[in-house]
Amino acid sequence: MTALIIDDEIQIRRLLRLALESRGYGVRDADNGRLGLQEAAFCRPDVVLLDLGLPDMDGLDVLKSLREWSTVPVLILSVRDEEHVKVSALENGADDYVTKPFSTAELLARLAVIQRRHHGNDSPELVVGPLTMHLDRHEVWLGGEPLKMTPTEYAFLHALARHAGKIVTQRQLLREVWGQQGDGQTHYLRVYANHLRKKLGGRLILSNEPGIGYRLLEALPAGIS
C-alpha cells in the first residue's frame, strides 16, 4: 500500500511518514499542489492525505483536479475548521476530513475505514458491524435479528451504510433519500436520524456533524473508549 502526502509543512510530513510506515505503508510526499498531482499520476497511490493550505494552489483545486481522473481515497488534513469548507471538500470528492492538530490513532483508523470502503466489492449485501442490509430483498438484519423499517428509513440507512465511517453531507442525504423536494429540509434528517438511533439501539453509532452531515460508525466494544 502506498500513501501520498501533499502538505507544505515538513514536520507534518515527517509525523505522517512515521505513522504510516509503522503500519506498513510505502510513503511518497510533495510540498505543493502541482508536485502532488504529478506524484499522484506517477505513483498511483492507494490513498492521498491532502492539506488545503498549499503554497501554490488551493487544496480544493488539487482535489478537483485529482477527481477528474482518479477515484483514489482522499483524506483532507487541514487547520481550516469552517463548516462550509468541510462541506465543499466532501461534496467535491473527499472521503473524509480531519482537522489539525489530530491524533495519529484517529487518523490511521479513518484511513482504514475509507480504504475498506474503497476496496469493497459489488456484493448484494452491505455489512457494517452487526448490521447487514440485503439489497436485493430490501431486508435489514441487526445482530442476526430482522429489523422492521419504513421505505424512508431504509433509504436513509442505506445512504449512510454505503459510506460507513464517512461523513455524508446534509445535501447529499436529502437529495438521495427525498430527491429535489428535500432541498433545504434539514428537519427531515433530524427526525429520521432519531428514528434510526432508536432502532439501532446503540449497536451502531449514528453521529451528527452539526451543520455538515451524518456518519454511521461501528460501536466500540465495551470497556474501550
Q: DSSP for 104-147, please give it.
A: HHHHHHHHHHHHHHHT----SEEEETTEEEETTTTEEEETTEE-
Q: Write out the CATH class of domain 125-218.
A: mainly alpha
pTM for the model stands at 0.64
Q: Are 73 and 48 a contacting pair, CB within 8 Å? A: yes
Helix, strand and coil in the chain, % to nearest 5:
45, 25, 35
What are the tens digits of pLDDT across the range 116-161? Answer: 666 654 457 888 889 999 887 888 999 889 999 888 898 899 989 9
Residue 15's CB: how many other CB atoms inside 10 A?
Answer: 16
Cβ–Cβ < 8 Å for 77, 100 = yes
Contact 174, 186 (CB under 8 A): yes
Classify domain 2-118 by CATH architecture.
3-Layer(aba) Sandwich (3.40)
Between β-strands 139-142 and 145-146, what pairing exists: parallel, antiparallel or unpaired?
antiparallel
Is 222 in a helix, a strand, or coil? coil
170: left (phi over 0), alpha (psi -120 to 50) or beta: alpha
Domain with CATH 3.40.50.2300 in the chain: 2-118
The distance of Cα 14 from the centroid of its chain, to the nearest Å, equals 24
- Give the integer Cα–Cα distance in Å for 142 and 145: 5
Do strands 47-51 and 2-6 pair parallel, antiparallel, or not at all (unpaired)? parallel
Query: How far apart (Å, rounded) are the C-alpha atoms in residues 88 and 211?
Result: 12
Q: Which residues contact 111 (CB under 8 A, 6 or more apart)?
A: 3, 47, 73, 75
pLDDT, one tens digit for every residue, the chain (225 residues): 899 999 999 999 999 999 999 988 999 999 999 999 999 998 889 899 999 999 999 999 999 999 888 888 899 999 988 888 888 898 888 888 988 888 888 888 888 877 766 665 445 788 888 999 988 788 899 988 999 988 889 889 998 998 888 889 998 888 888 876 677 788 889 999 999 999 999 889 999 988 899 999 887 544 443
Q: How far apart are CA 19 and CA 43, in angstroms?
A: 20
